Structure 1
Amino acid sequence: MSGVIRSLNPFDPSDVVAEAPAASAEQIDASLTALASAQPGWQADSMLRLRSLTALAGEIESRHRQFTDLMVREVGKPVPEAAGEVDRAIAILRFYAQVTLDPVGEVVPGSAPGARVLVERHPLGLVLAICPWNFPLAIPLWKSAPALAYGNAVLVKPASPAIATAALLSECAAAAMPEGVFQVLPVSGADTGTLLDDQRIAAVTFTGSTGVGISVAERMASRAAPAQCEMGGQNAAIVLDDADLDAAADAIVSGAMGFAGQKCTATRRVVVLEAVREELEEKLVERVEKLQVGDPAAEGVTVGPLISESAVEEFETARTEALNAGATEIARAPAPDEPGAFFVAPALLRQDDPEAVV
């Protein structure tokens, strides 16, 4: 199964950022064949891995502004966060470039007198990295860099809303890496399932929704292959009565509202002792109402649009359900009136029922 994959600018959905055919079965097979062919030579040469990962970091650094601007346009990430993501991606690569020089095992005493036990670690082979759209550069690299450093070949399956950023990463890899060892391929959801069943895939690393992650883990377990699945978070900030409330309020609002809350590490709820609840609420309300919501390319904006129309609908449904379940809206940041843009108004709700869904 193929089809067309496209990404849209969430600030201006009429702007098609990228459009590409999903990889065909023949292209997927050719990619896996190339990866499997290149992996043994990659595994055998630690200095090649060191030079290549360092070179990839340099390629990305040389296109820092290009990556930053592209993420702003493609996923609506405000400029400071997009630039910070590029910095982190470069740091990840440079760190794991040095890991290529680590010992591949150790010698430990055996159970018999004078015996020694040699432990040697080997790469798995071909690793599939299934990546989300919200960190379209950093997540593919923090999955791929350690796998590559230890001698695996890696196939990255990017999320559809971020295929332009993935394509730029692929360009950098082509300039810095040996042919075949690191590939980025736009694959449809149906064909991703076929990939998971391919015996050439030795392991998978996944970041995404809980439901899909469970499906990935079950599918890999059916053939006794390892899967690392990072799924959704439900993150609480717990504020005690001796807390620095200004620092707590800053961290909570930044954690909850930055990048419109579109990350698994976002602060979802605040649990606060009654003794400081009222004072903390006042500080949170003040900060939420001052949030700058708007064009993610504009200076000072900290909250851009959501990624899609369906994300807007999900947000509004959750807000309505929370209010119907007894929550009270105590603060809201004004959202700009941009026809077509996927904006919502960031809100702070008070809910005293610990059993409430939202």
Structure 2
Amino acid sequence: MTLRYDHASGSEKTYDTVNPAAPSETVGRYAIPDEAETAAIITRANAAAAEWARVPGLERGQRLNAFLDAVVARVDEIAEAITLEQGKILAEAKAEILKGCAEGRFMVGEAARMGATPIADGRPNFSNQILRRPRGVIFCISPWNFPAMTPLRKMCPAIAFGNAVIMKPSQFTPAASFLLEEIARAHLPAHLYQNAMISGRAASEVIAKGDIQGVSFTGSVEVGRLVYSAAAQNLIPVQLELGGKNAAILSDTDDLAGAVQQIAAAAFQTGGQRCTAISRVLVQRDLAKQASALLAERADAITLGSGMADGVQMGPLCNLPHWDGVCANTAKAIDEGSIALAGGGAAEGAGAEGGYFFRPTILGNVAHDSTASQVEIFGPVLSVLEYDTFDQAMEMLNGTEFGLTSALFSNNNAHVQRFLKESNNGMLHVNHGTIPDNNMPFGGIKNSGVGAYSVGPTAVNFYTSEHAAYVTW
């Protein structure tokens, strides 16, 4: 067997990855560090952080930009690694890398300012300053759905602000992060970016007891709670990016087909395996029949297949446990009374050997308190809920445990203003899908996030510590 990615030479404990479009194909093999090796990674990271913090900030930015240039130069290679392990189509894999690099370049500029805040002196012959310093070592836990963008989203601000990074990539999709580490070794100081393919239990030990100064996690609410609890034992700051059950309100529009196009794109990109995917559309009852028909038509037109193949619009789900969960939750939703207007289950022949394919699904007749409306299925499943009044729409919009992102399609200014004031989500979109810009804060509230957002001007609050300084003469 020839492995595409072999990072396990001489290691006793290893983990294999497979191609979700053809699970009999082993793609990569990775070493699992033991306790002593993990401790050595942390020691090296602390030494690298101390040296890096002494490098002038502008030089740090220049070197990080050189690293990003090298990532862009190898974008096709990294995209292939993503598609082979995660399953998404090559175009989406390439797009996530380029977006991660664009966000990283913005953070270089933010780090050049280091969160500087002008402040008046309080007493004669005094100079008051608010200083910020790198924290040290940031331990990052990355999910399987964006194997390059999420590591870049975490490492770029961390390194730009003067920290070192230990990355725990997902066991399902580590190849991209190992390629990033290879590029980092050529452009950044040794050990500034290191991968650690440790287990969840070992990661909890690192967070609770390790010599680290912050933890950034992207993943489920359930695991996020465990990370938060472990970090409390070590009294270190957390940055948690968790799940979502994001809704788009379709209130009124002079371009229903255009609104549906944006909603469908936001629902089905990456097979719906995005925390910011629209998974509920709340439709004013007079528009519901027509909107549902257009959504079903779009879902039925999507071509499934290997992400490596030309003409394919959606690849498989990432892994077998997740595919099983999407199948089970969708079946439960239908058992509860939801109606499959399109899709509704696994693609014909899908499964262990046939690939983890799931048909793009539109569910109608969805009750607000049902599985289809409340559970983050995290697949290509879009639920249509009908409402009569805008009060009902806002109540449904906010009526979940999540608060990540939301959208409103309306030409009614009163509805727009109310949405901006009352949507209990970290990110708000009016008359477009839930695609964030590179310079804007990314994060959520309620059970969708804790701590400073990951990119944008406020990321400095997580990646640096704050110090009030007084100088007198």
TM surpasses 0.5:
yes
Aligned counterparts of 2:255 and 2:127: Cα–Cα separation in 1: 54
Alignment counterpart, residue 253 of structure 2, candidates 242, 254, 276? 242
Aligned counterpart for 1:222 among listed residues 233, 252, 264: 233
In the alignment, the residues of structure 1 paired with residue 293 and residue 211 of structure 2 have an alpha-carbon distance, to the nearest angstrom, of 56
1:220 deviates by 0.7
Pairing 1:18-37 to 2, within 5 Å after superposition: 18-37=28-47
Give the whole-Å Cα distance in 2 for the aligned partners of 1:239 and 1:10.
34
Partner of 2:145: 134
Q: 2:347 aligns with which of 335, 338, 341?
A: 335
In structure 2, distance between residues paired with 1:197 and 1:219: 5
**What residue identity is the alignment partner of 2:74?**
R
Kept in 1: contact 2:253–2:259 (CA 8 A): no
Q: Which residue of structure 1 lines up, in the alignment, with residue 442 of structure 2?
A: none
Residue aligning to 2:26: 16
- State the distance in 1 between where 2:327 and 2:164 align: 42
1:270 maps onto 2:281 in alignment: yes
* Residue identity in the other structure for 2:347: A
Gaps of 5+ in 1: none
Q: Give the residue type in structure 1 aligned to 2:80.
A: D
The aligned amino acid for 1:125 is: G
Q: Report the residue type matching 1:18 in the other structure.
A: G
Instruction: Confirm or deny that 1:39 pairs with 2:53.
Output: no
- Report the alpha carbon displacement of residue 199 of structure 1 after superposing the two structures with TM: 4.0
**Counterpart residue number, 2:333:** 322
Question: CA deviation digits over 1:90-140, x for unaligned, max 9?
Answer: 223322333342256445213335643111111111110100011111101
SS in structure 2 at match of 1:109: coil
Looking at structure 1, the residues matched to 355 and 224 of structure 2 have their Cα atoms a distance apart, in angstroms, of 30
Q: What residue is the counterpart of 1:353 in the other structure?
A: 367
- Matched-pair contact (CA < 8 Å) for 1:107–1:116: no
Contact 1:128/1:204 (<8 A) preserved: yes
Matches within 5 A, 1:1-358: 3-45=13-55, 46-103=57-114, 105-113=116-124, 115-242=126-253, 244-332=255-343, 335=347, 337=349, 339-358=353-372
Q: Which moved more, 1:147-156 or 1:292-301?
A: 292-301
Q: Tell me how far apart the structure 2 counterparts of residues 95 and 104 of structure 1 sit (CA, whole Å).
A: 13
Q: Which runs of 4+ in 1 moved over 6 A?
A: none
Q: Is the 8 A contact 2:208 2:232 kept in 1?
A: no
Q: Quick one: distance in 1 between partners of 2:217 and 2:230?
A: 12
Contact 1:293/1:336 (8 A) holds in 2: no
User: How far did 1:187 drift?
Assistant: 1.3
Q: Deviations over 1:299-341 (max 9, x none)?
A: 2222110111222211121121111111111112893646431
Deviation string, structure 1 residues 25-48 (Cα, Å, up to 9, x no partner): 121111111111121221121243
The AA in structure 2 aligned to 1:131 is S
Deviations 1:226-256 (A, max 9, x none): 1111111110111002352112211221111
Post-superposition offset of 1:170? 1.2
* Gapped regions of structure 2 (runs ≥ 5): 1-11, 373-473
Residue 177 of structure 1 deviates from its aligned partner by: 0.8
Deviation of the 1:208 alpha carbon = 0.5
Residue 121 of structure 1: SS of its match in structure 2?
strand
Q: 1:180 and 1:296, CA in 2 relative to 1: closer, same or farther beyond 3 A?
A: same
Equivalent residues of 1:42, 1:48 under 8 A apart = no
AA aligned opposite 1:344: F
TM-score, normalised by the number of residues in structure 2: 0.72
Distance 2:188 2:122 in 1: 44
Cα distance change, pair 320–200 in 1 and its aligned pair in 2 (3 A): same
**Identity value in percent:** 29
**CA distance in structure 2 between the partners assigned to 1:199 and 1:33 by the alignment:** 10
Amino acid across the alignment from 1:175: A
Kindly report the root-mean-square deviation, in angstroms, between the aligned alpha carbons of the 2 structures. 1.8
